[in-house]
Amino acid sequence: MRTHPKSRIALSTALLLSLAACGGGGGGSGGFLPTGTTAGTGSGTTGGGNSGTTAAAKLNGIAATGAAFAGAKVTVVDQRGVTVCTTETDAKGAYECTLPADTKAPLVVTAARDDLTLYSTTASATGGNVNVTPLTTIIVSRLSPDGNPASLAGAIATKPDTVTDSTVKQQVAELVAALKPLLTLLGDAVDPISGAFTADGSGHDRLLDSISVSVRPDGAGANIEITVKAVPTSEDAAPLSISFRSDATLPALPQSVATATLAPAGASLAVASLFDRLTQCFALPLSKRVTAANDSTAVTGGPDQVIATECRTLFVNDNPASYLSNGSTVGRDINNQGAFAGLFRPGATGVKYDRGEHQFFRANGDQVLSYRTTDSTGAVQNQTIVARDVGGTFKLIGNQYNYSVSVAPTVQDRDFVSAPAYNYLSVSYDVSIPNRKDGQGNAIFTKAVVTAPNGASYTYKPGAGNANLVVDKPDGNSASTSLLRLAAGFRDTSKSGSPADFESSYFLSPQLSDEQLRQLPEQGAFKVEFFHVDTNKANVVQTHRMITRVPTIAEARQLKFADLTAGMRNEIKGIAPAQALVFDAPTANEPSLVDFSAEGDLDAWTVPDGAPAPTAFTVYGASSSSVQFEDKVDVASSARKAKVYCSSEGGTDNHCTTINGNSVYNGGTSINLFQLSATSAQQVLFLKGFSTRIPAN
């Protein structure tokens, strides 16, 4: 590869990049206001109405997904498209609005938090109870002409009879009929929209705790699925669910389930208590959490060094040694590796845990919970953990697996900065299997065979410059990625052909259609079988279930991602036609690293409203001898720039060298892709990749 002339974006040894995203989200509302009035916004009340008019109508309700949808922004839009109220849900998911006297029904109510928005509606402007839940979101989707719940507010502006008492009652009745076996079992007779309930895991809230709902707009309608979160008969058993289009007749749940297999009453409060206790543990100074000489220096150690009662009692048997997850036990080594390594680091003091929610059961009754952490800098991460219900109190246990595997439904927006006609979306499963090595740096696995929920089988093998095992294509060649890319489509829908035509090394064949993708189950399970280099070791089989399925391409087109600034686009365009950034030999004065920041050390990316914030940044490329590599750095969700130092995987990986004790990029190493990674609360991986290449079709 040729070396670029020295410039800010491709210095001979120091690579300085500038990225930032085009802002997005927001949006206004149409309609009109009477002369002399304004649409009110504020903390639950609004101005408006004619002079001397008293606004008396009170709108209130509960926003919940089972767990209280706390801290969500509630917006009420009336028939005119006017926002007549904005407020926020409290810790119990409750909200209240005072409507202006001139509010015109019907109304659409939204509760938005990060990348998740719930919807509801009412045909009345006289106030009353309007809950906002996944079930009410289904109702709004089915009332909306295009199946997108976000479209209903605009639809009623031109056709208000879309939402009437009659149409709402019909949708409620059909939904209740579909869920009748479960409602009967739980004794739930609450109207999903207007009924009173509390987000405490009892009554109607227990129903919400017992189901998972997905509403996925695709431009022509929405794909809707309701999954019962019951204890499965085996780790890879298919869950009980119903799926349907937003404009189709609702099918009924085909069978009932045993009460004992569902989350017990009050489960959401018990889950919340677990994460409150985790927050209390991490609120302690370092020397109170673990054996440490002071509160400012990180230490290494294992489960026996955890000394605080608040921390030890988080685990089964009140003993951190009982915890095992993906091969990691509680502790921290010199490489900062280990489960709950933050217990041993001062920087983790003050980390807050919240938004805990039961996602599904394992076959032994343990539960997979999703949650959010927020550190002292405001950085946020969405994660999952396995816990056990011990007499009504949740205790941490982990998945008890010896090998690390993560499976994430993934949607990628590949941006060819210098050739936008080739921009495309792809959907895949990211099966991340670390290339585990022995004490001599040799891989311990010859391969791992991965079986997908649809029965398809894939082989993963070690790659020279890859931290994770990479998938083999059906022809036996490596796809040089951990992603099972199932389908792709150009951003420009008028463009013919397929992205696989010019990026064949990345895609599996045959590609799946949107209909085939839609048939993949929510909470599908992947089976992974490990084959060892040491043939005396028996194969190990692990099962990993996801919260949700991979999107279809049409669904992916509705999603939002981080993006580049105009200035950064121009800099990357300057790389063409060489199609890669190439390092010259590094020197002590100019060590080779990737500084992903805009001119003047400004932000490198922004995140539009409704998009998950990136928490990782990865560069991809090849050494001078064509050994492919990927180097990744974690970033705070609040970060908008990153630095990446070279990371060698040993063996034949020669893209790094050492200068002054630092691992830096070797001369001739090239980089052709920069990628931001974000994870939603549903553990969907969002990848936004910026390629320097100009594809040859």
The owner of tokens 């040993």 is 650
Lowest mean pLDDT among 7-21, 163-177, 495-509: 7-21
Give the pLDDT confidence score for residue 51 in this predicted structure: 33
Does the pLDDT of residue 576 top 90, yes or no? Answer: no
CA distance 619 to 583: 14
Give the pLDDT confidence score for residue 474 in this predicted structure: 65
- For residue 559, give the H/E element and its range: none
More confident call, 39 vs 358: 358
Give the pLDDT confidence score for residue 85 in this predicted structure: 95
CB 279 within 8 A of CB 353: yes
**Residue 307, φ and ψ in degrees, nearest 5:** -110, -25
- Contacts for 8 with CB less than 8 Å, ≥ 6 apart: 16, 571, 599
Does the pLDDT of residue 343 top 70, yes or no? Answer: yes
CA distance 336 to 446: 27
Average pLDDT over residues 140-150: 97
Lowest mean pLDDT among 263-272, 479-488, 635-644: 479-488
Give the pLDDT confidence score for residue 378 in this predicted structure: 86
169: three-class secondary structure by DSSP: helix
The reply to whether omega before 612 is within 30° of 0 (cis) is no
Average pLDDT score, the chain: 88
Give the pLDDT confidence score for residue 52 in this predicted structure: 36
Does the pLDDT of residue 16 top 70, yes or no? Answer: no
Percentage of the chain lying above the pLDDT 70 cut: 90
Give the pLDDT confidence score for residue 142 in this predicted structure: 98
Q: What is the pLDDT of residues 673-692, one digit of tens each?
A: 999 999 998 899 999 999 98
Does the pLDDT of residue 633 top 60, yes or no? Answer: yes
Lowest mean pLDDT among 346-360, 463-477, 589-603: 463-477
More confident call, 606 vs 65: 65
Q: Count of CB atoms within 10 A of residue 538's CB?
A: 9
Does the pLDDT of residue 626 top 90, yes or no? Answer: no
Give the DSSP letter of residue 602: B
**Residue 461, φ and ψ in degrees, nearest 5:** -135, 160
Give the pLDDT confidence score for residue 476 in this predicted structure: 63
Does the pLDDT of residue 21 top 50, yes or no? Answer: no
Work out the pLDDT band at 35, boundaries 50, 70, 90.
very low
Work out the pLDDT band at 467, boundaries 50, 70, 90.
confident
CA distance 43 to 523: 38
Give the pLDDT confidence score for residue 697 in this predicted structure: 58
CA distance 171 to 162: 12
Does the pLDDT of residue 9 top 50, yes or no? Answer: no
Tokens (6 digits) for 433: 């299997």
Does the pLDDT of residue 562 top 50, yes or no? Answer: yes
Does the pLDDT of residue 337 top 70, yes or no? Answer: yes
Most confident of 236-240, 307-311, 419-423, 460-464: 307-311
> Which neighbouring-strand residues pair with 628?
622
549: three-class secondary structure by DSSP: coil
CA distance 465 to 345: 30
Work out the pLDDT band at 293, boundaries 50, 70, 90.
very high
Angle at 383 between CA 301 and CA 318, to 5 degrees: 45
CA 480 to chain centroid, in Å, comes to 24
Q: Give whole-number Cα distances, 618 to 25, 378, 466, in Å.
A: 25, 22, 12
Give the pLDDT confidence score for residue 578 in this predicted structure: 64
- For residue 634, give the H/E element and its range: strand 628-634
Tokens (6 digits) for 201: 């895991």
- Contacts for 90 with CB less than 8 Å, ≥ 6 apart: 70
pTM: 0.86
Q: What is the pLDDT of residues 202-245, one digit of tens each?
A: 999 999 999 999 999 999 999 999 999 999 999 999 989 999 99
Does the pLDDT of residue 527 top 90, yes or no? Answer: yes
Does the pLDDT of residue 538 top 90, yes or no? Answer: yes
Classify strands 15-17 and 594-596 as parallel, antiparallel or unpaired.
parallel
Does the pLDDT of residue 34 top 60, yes or no? Answer: no
Sign of CA dihedral 252, 253, 255, 259: negative
Does the pLDDT of residue 40 top 70, yes or no? Answer: no
